[in-house]
A and B are shown apart, each in its own frame.
Chain A
């Protein structure tokens, strides 16, 4: 009924949406939007280095994102610049270094548009294995650290005082974000991956009463965005990443009309 590449894109995209939902909720709760963006921007450098060194693209993106994450921790100890200034510094310099290397290494032929905005045509069977395999691993780890990570999100001191080891779960979560970016960069693109992390949870918050509800609705919203986005991409010949994000934005606006639990009247 559909072409093979389209079926592959659907399977890959749905996988990404399922992983992006819960990770994205934590990104929103912890105000890490710009942080996710920074790691994603460094993805271009990761891709370039992957090409030059001849290693798997997702692996090199993962390594570079993790490196940037730890570089940020290091910089935070060395200077008193605010977090967002440091993030900006890292985001734009890593993007710039990536672009400079692409220009110098004229032997590499890279589809820049594809990298920035995602390319469904590029999804191979190996990518599907990587997305679902990596995705299951990410979700299992998240499930294990959930309680401690969530407690630390609500209040770090409280989590630490009551023996939840928040530092460890914070570090692990950093690696998980890098992992999500690594497996979804090819499909969604460097510039838009944070959108898929943020918009479904933002939509979901409008009618969620508990953290778990918010995660479930985020996944559902993400999956719907991927399915409609990809069909739209096929129908109107638009790039896949932006199409998915546009659908998720429409869902967000729609969600504003179905808000729950916001103006609840409380009897004193």
Chain B
């Protein structure tokens, strides 16, 4: 991991960045780097500036302070919420090529990777929350981006689906060799798939490996003892996933 960082230029380099709006700082003093083949997770309570930080990286918002350097244009984005008006007749097949022409084989490949190939001809407004998230993820990865930004990608997905989807995200980062920024409000599930965690609450509370963050006092303060305990339980389970049979024990 460390040698990897030395050899590669970061896809994203954010230095002490902040966004000021309506008389207050939405986030301030955020520094982070995202490299190929690694997953950075932003966690934090509601309103802690996770989405804002994501938008800062994507140049949707401008930094009022600090610097954001983005060294790629090949970006896949899964926004927190996409409201598609009924008046726009949009099928999954149309949605896949929304921001660029894309070959049929790549579309099929991406849809089957997220397990929603059968929805190809469905109208987007007819999908369930979980189905929509999978389609949205498929759309973002179809063109094989360098950088993938996923804002709460497992919303509306049930418990088992959530674990599977995080495993899938891990698999994607290896298969298409991209850097991923994962935004989540829940560290428990992302543990096994993330390399670096940044805990945000208007500013960076703490950061480091998932295990380090889980033990950090400010993380425990922010999320409570409960979260820290569940987390350690989960990491215990996580140890078992490295058994040769690769099963997840429950």
Contact = CB atoms under 8 A, between A and B. Distances in A.
| A interface, over-half SS | helix
Contact of A210 (B60, B82, B91): B91
Contact of A161 (B90, B91, B149): B149
B88 A154 contact: yes
A160 B89 contact: no
B123 interface: yes
Interface string A97-110: 00000000000000
Interface string A55-72: 000000000000000000
A213 B98 CA distance: 16
Interface string A229-267: 000000000000000000000000000000001001010
Contact of A154 (B55, B59, B82, B126): B82
A211 to B, nearest CB: 6
B222 to A, nearest CB: 27
Interface in B53-94: 55, 58-60, 73, 75-77, 79, 82, 84-85, 87-91, 94
Contacts of A210: 89-91, 94
Given A151-B98, A154-B82, A209-B123, A161 B59 contact: yes
B88 A161 contact: no
A51 to B, nearest CB: 38
Contacts of B95: 154
Given A205-B89, A208-B89, A154 B77 contact: no
Interface in B105-164: 122-123, 126, 149
B126 A205 contact: no
Interface in A127-159: 147, 150-151, 153-155, 157-159
Contacts of A211: 88-90, 94
Interface of A: 28-29, 31, 147, 150-151, 153-155, 157-164, 205, 208-211, 213-214, 261, 264, 266
Given A151-B98, A160-B60, A209-B91, 11 more contacts: A150-B98, A151-B99, A157-B60, A157-B77, A161-B58, A161-B75, A162-B76, A163-B75, A210-B90, A210-B91, A264-B122
7 contacts: A29-B87, A150-B98, A157-B55, A161-B77, A162-B75, A164-B99, A264-B123
Closest 6 CB pairs of A and B: A161-B77, A161-B58, A162-B99, A208-B89, A29-B88, A160-B60
